[in-house]
A = this chain, B = another copy of it.
Amino acid sequence: MRRPLIRKLEKFTRLSQADKEMLVRIAAQRVRRFAAREDIIHEGEKPEFINLINEGWACRYKTLEDGRRQIIAFFLPGDLCDLNVFILKEMDHSIGAITPVAVSEISRAAFDEMMIGHPRITQALWWESLVAAAIQREWTVNLGQRDALERMAHLLCELFIRLEAAGCTSDSSCEFPLTQTELGETLGMSTVHVNRTLQELRASNLIVLKDRTLTIPNLQALQDVALFNPNYLHLDREGRHLDANEE
């Protein structure tokens, strides 16, 4: 069985056996499953748990009064929703499943226990939440400055690299469940233009996207058209070059 959270956190720091057991235990209790398109939590509800995505893809989204919808973030396997959300009185956005998902609910008590007894996990979770914030900032840059082609390319690079960190890719391919409508809601463009843009990336041999599978034959080339700089993902562990025996 894959443990995407552990795999991801180890990009940041080494975890002890006890740390890993703790994380497995946390992820095992209170697992809920949702069908594709189902809401995990809805705007206005009181948040009671930290959600951890174990399997599948989910997203944050927000809907304006007049129906326009914006996808604000994607949650991939191993992603945590919001450390400490329970401080807030109510959700200001919704979280919905994109594919069928398995989610672990982490209670306030379990979270506090972890923070006290496992300083390395605490550090690693801080890191993961700082990275999540950095991703959100990069999306701001993406929407504000890049044109449609760059924007799409950037999103694909990011998702691919994040999936890789969670151990959800093989070679240069990954599952890719997003519809063109969802891509449009993410990138702030119409489905028509999403289609045009994907065609353009295909025509340049930058991507192969078919049957919910994405292949990126030359990631560097795609990064180049996206003006993609992976530094915001903070995946380079302190002293990583010393750990030749990994990956």
Residues of A within 8 A of B (CB): 60, 62, 64-66, 68-70, 72-73, 82, 84-85, 87-90, 92-93, 123, 126-127, 130, 133-134, 136-141, 143-146, 185-188, 227, 229, 231-232, 234, 236, 238
Contacts and interface: CB of A to CB of B under 8 A. Distances in A.
Nearest to A144: B188
Given A82-B133, A92-B134, A136-B136, A141 B227 contact: no
Nearest to A43: B231
B130 A88 contact: yes
A144 B82 contact: no
Contacts of A145: 64, 68-70, 188
Nearest to A85: B130
Contact of A140 (B136, B146, B231): B136
Q: Which interface residue of A64, A87, A144, A146 has the most chain B CB atoms within 10 A?
A: A144
5 contacts: A62-B138, A65-B227, A72-B140, A92-B232, A93-B137
A135 to B, nearest CB: 10
Contact of A87 (B69, B127, B137, B236): B127
Contact of A72 (B90, B141, B187, B231): B141
Contacts of A127: 87-88
A163 B176 CA distance: 42
Contacts of A66: 227
A132 to B, nearest CB: 8
A244 to B, nearest CB: 19
A128 to B, nearest CB: 10
B234 A144 contact: no
